[in-house]
Chains A and B, each alone.
Chain A
Amino acid sequence: MTRTTTAREPVDAEPKDGAPRRILTAIGPQNISLVAALIVVVAIFTFLNSGYLTWSNVQVIGEAATVAGLLAVVQTVVIICGAMDISVGSQAGVASVISAMAFMSTGHNPLLGIAAAIGVGVVAGLVNGLVIVYGRVNPVIATLATLAAYKGIAQLISGGRAQGFVLGDDLFIFIARGRIAGLPVQVCILLVVALAIHLMLKYTDIGRNIYAIGGNDTAARLAGININKYLIAVYALAGIIAALAGIILTARTGSGQPTSGSEGLELQSITAAALGGAALKGGKGGVAGTLLAVLLLGALNNGLNVVGVNTFWQNVAQGALLVIAVIIQQRRTGERAVGLPT
């Protein structure tokens, strides 16, 4: 709970007239309904199991949601541009394998392992961006293709098996089990990344231009924004953050994982972004809403685990939430029910 409030404050901290009404509109109806849903979920599971709302379980929820949370935050940026990156999970898988293998082959140098993984993430992201912008391939199709291709690459270089062992190294141990001011390091990484991206989106001209590109790309182009450069850079950023998620995955499991742990993350990241208020047609959304949605999904998954519901039902719940989120969004914009939705 703590982390959402810290991440959310800057959005609402606009110097308004101070009336509570103003603050409510600044938070936005989307975020208010997310908070309400979160309260309901927490209340139900606390009622069903008194161990649910304890500090240790909250930390478990946080750690479990970190990897998906990182991807959801960067997915939000991609979606604000009016695009989509389905390949984030596969990119994390490749990065995870690379980080462990580079770590082993450089004589157990964790920094080189991490650098190699980030480098691979940049390349993977750039490939996505270049194919989309200069190959003129629809973002969904392009990243659907790289979803498969990157997964294949991860399996090829790893032979389909977990690679290396990193938990003899202090840095990886710190990432996996460390605490900073009582918070798990993984959660801290997520918070730092989320805050940085939040600041970029809301307070820099880069962020303004990203919203402009997603809101009206013709207007952005005519206003002198180099759209191609921005799109490619955003995909590269997605690659970097996915690589970071992959490194955390390696630290958590102790070895490079080609697929386990990263499969299905694309669905989770898109779900969280959409649930958090990012409009899939672009131009709308924010890190705060996405983090709330990540927390909601994490709380829900953990709760279903705690009360012993079949894990397969969790997938059903997540899918249902995604559809509900988009339906609510479309209702709000008053889209007419004719033909394919835009």
Chain B
Amino acid sequence: MTELRAVGISKRFAGVRALDDVTLDFPGGAVTALMGENGAGKSTLIKIINGDHLPDRGRVVLDGAPLALHAPADARRAGIRVIPQEPEIVPHVSVAENVYIGALPRKAGRALDRVGLRARVRADLRRLGFERVLDPDTLGSHLTPAQRQLVEILRALTTDAKVIAFDEPTSSLSENEVEALFALIRRLREEGLAVIYVSHRMQEIFRLADRIAVLRDGGLVGVRDVDRTDEAEIVRMMVGRDLSDMFAREHGATDEVVLEVDAVTTDDVRDVSLSVRAGEVVALAGLVGAGRSELAGAIVGDLPIRSGQVRVGGRPVRLRQPRDAVRAGMGYAPEERKAQALLLERSVRDNTSLVVLDRLRRFRFVRRAEERRLTREYVDRLNVRTPDIEHEVRKLSGGNQQKVVLARWLARRPKVLILDEPTRGIDVGAKAEIYHLIDDLARAGVAILVISSELPEVLGLADRIVVMQNGRVTGELDRADATEEAILELAMAEDLSTTAQEEDQ
């Protein structure tokens, strides 16, 4: 029977450890669930198995033979298929062509063999029991999210897959669709395939999986058989780190409420209310896809607010575009610093002065000496390691790039600072520096909202923790009662009614 083994896999990205010596089996005829917090290394492991990333050390072994995985095509040839969260579907061609894309049956002279294609797709649909769910003539653009995944699964199964991995497959599926998917996965298991299932949803995993492998900080914590464990043990395995010495927070929030979010509803979040006081650090916790970044985008005027209000210093802010938020005294360091914040091919100086040019100019001419002085001041204060302030930002390390983003907003002296994953992908030293900086800013009276998926960071930094799931606030915890377990419980609370009593008033 099939067996996929990952042996001693290590992988670093720009010096940051993503996976460290992970050895894990995925036996055929079983569903192995991969669990772990955001950033624990689940996606990296899947990408290595899929040939997207080359491991620094270690190898992937299928049925005793080591594989050379340099590209996804290699993985496919070996019989490994990963079903991504958002399958790639060609919109303007039929399901049948989508399934066989790249290997369409053809007749002499490269003409498409339509009859053969149709016969093959029908046979496949019948074999897998999807003849009623999926019409082979439907166009790709007309498919529901579940059907798109089915197409991707069909693609996998028409190429003699031995291993099939699902990356959060149910996030966009309705309940009925989830049932159909589970039925399919069980059939795949009976056919002897090795199934890898990545999900945050505890209930699903206990219904579906045979084994649960837990990753934490890039290492394998352990593997448990589903019948011999329970949710509490898995949560304990997922958390339980100690980084407390990195945090030196003096908790000194004042009574002055600076940022108020009042019953804000957008396309992604519903009825969210929260407030941040001067000198307070509030963390927004939750799993990826809970709507935290979307909420931040709405607060800073980048995503439209359908109803509700944002107030700064008691005054409502009319948010038509980010400019309005900047003018109201908000600063925002977004999640993807390279894509959303930095001008990579411009200098540290250009990047730092971007939001204070209106204060630096005289008759629209930028006062360059003042600009250089200001840049130097913040480069020193944040300890940005750069040869000089004319250095291009793309040549700096991730941690220093993040500091440049922070320098930009600090130079503006905002009343409210919203930081989305401020320490993602940066090394431990820079992380500690950023934590100290956040503490300094809070002590200087800035109201800070931090979005973070790292629970120790949330616990170490925050005075209060607001937890979101599925676009709603599921609870609010004070620093005193917050534990990783309590946060995870709120973040994974699938049934909102059980946690309703903890919702903020």
Q: Do A and B bind each other?
A: yes
Q: Determine which of B321, B345, B360 lies in contact with A221 in the assembled complex, contact meaning CB atoms within 8 Å.
A: B321
A209 at the interface (CB under 8 A from B): yes
CB distance from B21 to the nearest CB of A (A): 31
Total count of chain A residues near the partner, CB < 8 A: 21
CB distance from A247 to the nearest CB of B (A): 27
A212, B327: Cβ atoms closer than 8 Å: no
21 A-B pairs, CB-CB below 8 angstroms?
A203-B368, A204-B366, A205-B358, A205-B364, A206-B364, A208-B357, A211-B343, A212-B350, A215-B343, A215-B345, A216-B340, A216-B343, A216-B344, A221-B302, A221-B322, A222-B341, A223-B322, A224-B322, A224-B326, A224-B355, A283-B346
CB distance from B338 to the nearest CB of A (A): 8
Q: Determine which of A205, A223, A224, A226 lies in contact with B366 in the assembled complex, contact meaning CB atoms within 8 Å.
A: A205
B326, A218: Cβ atoms closer than 8 Å: no
A283, B345: Cβ atoms closer than 8 Å: yes
Q: A218-B341, A223-B326 are known contacts; what are 4 more A-B pairs with Cβ within 8 Å?
A: A204-B364, A218-B334, A222-B340, A224-B327
B300 at the interface (CB under 8 A from A): yes
B106 at the interface (CB under 8 A from A): no
Query: What separation, in Å, do the CA atoms of A283 and B368 have in the docked complex?
Result: 20
B114 at the interface (CB under 8 A from A): no
Q: What are the 6 tightest A-B residue pairs by CB atom distance, in nearest-first order?
A: A224-B326, A205-B357, A215-B343, A224-B323, A204-B364, A218-B340
Query: What separation, in Å, do the CA atoms of A283 and B393 have in the docked complex?
Result: 14
A203, B344: Cβ atoms closer than 8 Å: no
Beta-carbon contacts under 8 Å, B368-422 to A = 368, 408
B350, A211: Cβ atoms closer than 8 Å: yes
B357, A215: Cβ atoms closer than 8 Å: no
Query: What separation, in Å, do the CA atoms of A212 and B356 have in the docked complex?
Result: 13
Residues of chain B contacted by A203 (CB below 8 angstroms): 365-366, 368
Beta-carbon contacts under 8 Å, A269-295 to B = 283-284
In the complex, what residue of chain B is closest to A208 when comparing beta carbons? B357
B350, A222: Cβ atoms closer than 8 Å: no
A173 at the interface (CB under 8 A from B): no
* Given A218-B340, A224-B327: A211 touches B365 (CB 8 Å cut-off): no
Residues of chain A contacted by B325 (CB below 8 angstroms): 224
A222, B332: Cβ atoms closer than 8 Å: yes
B339 at the interface (CB under 8 A from A): yes
- Digit string of A219-230 for contact with B (CB within 8 Å is 1, else 0)? 111111110000
B354 at the interface (CB under 8 A from A): yes
CB distance from B71 to the nearest CB of A (A): 11
B302, A219: Cβ atoms closer than 8 Å: no
CB distance from A236 to the nearest CB of B (A): 17
B342 at the interface (CB under 8 A from A): yes
- Digit string of B316-354 for contact with A (CB within 8 Å is 1, else 0)? 000001110111000010100001111111100010011
Query: What separation, in Å, do the CA atoms of A284 and B343 have in the docked complex?
Result: 11
Chain B interface size range: 20 to 34
Residues of chain A contacted by B70 (CB below 8 angstroms): none
In the complex, what residue of chain B is closest to A207 when comparing beta carbons? B366
B361 at the interface (CB under 8 A from A): yes
Residues of chain A contacted by B341 (CB below 8 angstroms): 216, 218-219, 222
Q: Determine which of B321, B343, B361, B408 lies in contact with A205 in the assembled complex, contact meaning CB atoms within 8 Å.
A: B361
A residues within 8 Å of B by Cβ? Answer: 203-206, 208-209, 211-212, 215-216, 218-226, 283-284
Residues of chain B contacted by A209 (CB below 8 angstroms): 357
CB distance from B135 to the nearest CB of A (A): 31
Query: What separation, in Å, do the CA atoms of A212 and B343 have in the docked complex?
Result: 7
- Digit string of B178-206 for contact with A (CB within 8 Å is 1, else 0)? 00000000000000000000000000000
B364, A226: Cβ atoms closer than 8 Å: no
Query: What separation, in Å, do the CA atoms of A212 and B340 have in the docked complex?
Result: 12
* Given A215-B345, A222-B300, A223-B355: A208 touches B366 (CB 8 Å cut-off): yes
A215, B358: Cβ atoms closer than 8 Å: no
A205, B346: Cβ atoms closer than 8 Å: no
Residues of chain B contacted by A223 (CB below 8 angstroms): 322, 326, 354-355, 408
Residues of chain B contacted by A216 (CB below 8 angstroms): 339-344
* Given A219-B342, A222-B340, A224-B322: A208 touches B364 (CB 8 Å cut-off): no
Residues of chain A contacted by B350 (CB below 8 angstroms): 208, 211-212
A222, B360: Cβ atoms closer than 8 Å: no
Residues of chain B contacted by A211 (CB below 8 angstroms): 343, 346, 350
In the complex, what residue of chain B is closest to A209 when comparing beta carbons? B357
Query: What separation, in Å, do the CA atoms of A226 and B408 have in the docked complex?
Result: 18
B302, A222: Cβ atoms closer than 8 Å: yes
Query: What separation, in Å, do the CA atoms of A219 and B302 have in the docked complex?
Result: 11
CB distance from B345 to the nearest CB of A (A): 6
CB distance from B402 to the nearest CB of A (A): 14
In the complex, what residue of chain A is closest to B354 when comparing beta carbons? A223
Residues of chain A contacted by B322 (CB below 8 angstroms): 221-224
In the complex, what residue of chain A is closest to B359 when comparing beta carbons? A205
CB distance from B435 to the nearest CB of A (A): 23
CB distance from B414 to the nearest CB of A (A): 11
Query: What separation, in Å, do the CA atoms of A156 and B359 have in the docked complex?
Result: 49
A222, B366: Cβ atoms closer than 8 Å: no
Residues of chain A contacted by B345 (CB below 8 angstroms): 215, 283-284
Query: What separation, in Å, do the CA atoms of A211 and B349 have in the docked complex?
Result: 13
A225, B344: Cβ atoms closer than 8 Å: no
CB distance from A172 to the nearest CB of B (A): 33
B340, A219: Cβ atoms closer than 8 Å: yes
CB distance from A270 to the nearest CB of B (A): 21
Query: What separation, in Å, do the CA atoms of A219 and B334 have in the docked complex?
Result: 9
Beta-carbon contacts under 8 Å, B75-130 to A = none
CB distance from A205 to the nearest CB of B (A): 4
Residues of chain A contacted by B360 (CB below 8 angstroms): 205
* Given A204-B365, A224-B327: A219 touches B343 (CB 8 Å cut-off): yes
CB distance from B301 to the nearest CB of A (A): 9
Name the residue in A211, A215, A219 with the highest tally of chain B Cβ atoms < 10 Å from its Cβ.
Answer: A219
CB distance from B51 to the nearest CB of A (A): 16
B343, A283: Cβ atoms closer than 8 Å: yes
Residues of chain A contacted by B339 (CB below 8 angstroms): 216, 218
CB distance from A289 to the nearest CB of B (A): 15
Residues of chain A contacted by B323 (CB below 8 angstroms): 224-226
In the complex, what residue of chain A is closest to B353 when comparing beta carbons? A208
Residues of chain B contacted by A221 (CB below 8 angstroms): 302, 321-322
